[in-house]
Amino acid sequence: MAAQFIRIVAIPPGEAPLWVREKWVGLSLPVADDRGPRDAYVSGVLSAPRNRLLAFTSRVLGKLGKQNGYAVYVRDAISELEKAAPDAAAWWRNDAPRLLAPGRKLLFRTAYCELVKPPSGADNPSARPLQREIANAAAAGLSPAPRIRMPHKVARISFTRSPFVPGLMLVLFLLAGYLNWSHSVHPERQATVHGNLVDWSVYYVSSKGGSHRKLQLQLSGYTEKFRIDMDLMGNRLPAGLAKGAAIDITADAAQLASPLHPLFEPGDAIVWVNGLVVDGVTAFAVGDVVDHQRSQWVPWFLMVAMAAAYLAYTIISSRKRRGGS
């Protein structure tokens, strides 16, 4: 089958600088896999996801647009661009080097190119390795008959194509959900303690979602430290919080009987507060904690759904590859 070529007839849109995109006009480029125009999900050459997992996530979230056009292998396109505009080809190598990986493609929309006959002397890009072997054999004075090499299949795990990674993600998300559920607040299991405020402090806990403030209280008559997630109070200190203030704390009865001992704070006894009243003014109640925990289930369900969808995608893809091999 003769190789198919397209000629760029207008400046294609994209994230590359205008002067770089202008250099495509007039070039004849070989179509990848000798296929006609196709519908494909595309992303910017600079903002493109950096791996298959991120690409799949962007596709699920609807961040990738779908366009129709001719696909061209990046390496073939840059090779032709090098002949006409070395400075533009250098931009691609310096500013978008990850696109030069084997198998990466550029999509030129049909409105900016046209199908043309192969240029004089053009070869089929897929046959170039074979042609080079014939030429090398002839130059060495050997028989020009090429040797047919049967590729050896190497057993390997592709962490972006095998079900291992999404399966592990799904298990971890489900485990996190179980731990969150097992530590959820039950209003019927709460107890109340009273005391005067001896001391208090605020500290920060950093996570991927940002920095979160925690309030720690020390009450008279108790050796435990009572901790509060300040998200429950809009990240503000409760009114009237001062040494000597009358404090009413609602907490899990089991934690009051057997406080927590964090791994990195073995000498501290911690009780998490599920309701706080300062000098008779309610800062937050158990119902607020329950609502806050319920709101955290929404992103968890989304992550589980994405991991399950990605797992199904990799399983189906692996079956297709096995069926086609």
SS (H, E, C) 167-225: HHHHHHHHHHHHHHHHCCCCHHHEEEEEEEEEEEEEEEEEECCEEEEEEEEEECCCCCE
pLDDT of residue 146: 47
> Which pair of tokens denotes residue 317?
């893809």
Cα separation, 156 vs 323, whole angstroms: 17
Rounded CA-CA distance 67/37 in Å is 10
**pLDDT of 155:** 41
pLDDT at 162: 67
Residue-level pLDDT at 284: 93
How many Å is the Cα radius of gyration of the chain?
31
Sign of the Cα pseudo-torsion (235, 239, 244, 247, in order): negative
Of residues 70, 92, 69, 71, the one with CA closest to residue 81: 92
Give every strand in the sheet of 38-42, ordered side by side.
Answer: 38-42, 65-73, 105-109
Look at residues 160, 125, 110, 94 and name the one whose alpha carbon lies nearest to residue 7.
110
Instruction: Select from 10, 42, 15 the least CA-distant residue to 26.
Output: 10
How far is it, in rounded angstroms, from Cα 123 to Cα 120?
9
Q: For residue 125, what pLDDT is reported?
A: 54
Report the interhelical angle of 52-60 vs 286-324 (nearest 10°): 120
Provide the pLDDT for residue 277: 95
Q: Please name the helix (run of DSSP H) or strand (run of DSSP E) that holds residue 319, with its range, or none.
A: helix 286-324
Q: Which residue numbers in the chain have pLDDT < 50?
A: 126-127, 130, 132, 143-159, 208-209, 324-325
List the beta strands (DSSP E) in the chain.
5-8, 28-30, 38-42, 65-73, 105-109, 113-116, 190-207, 210-219, 225-229, 246-252, 270-278, 281-284
Q: What's the pLDDT at 19?
A: 95
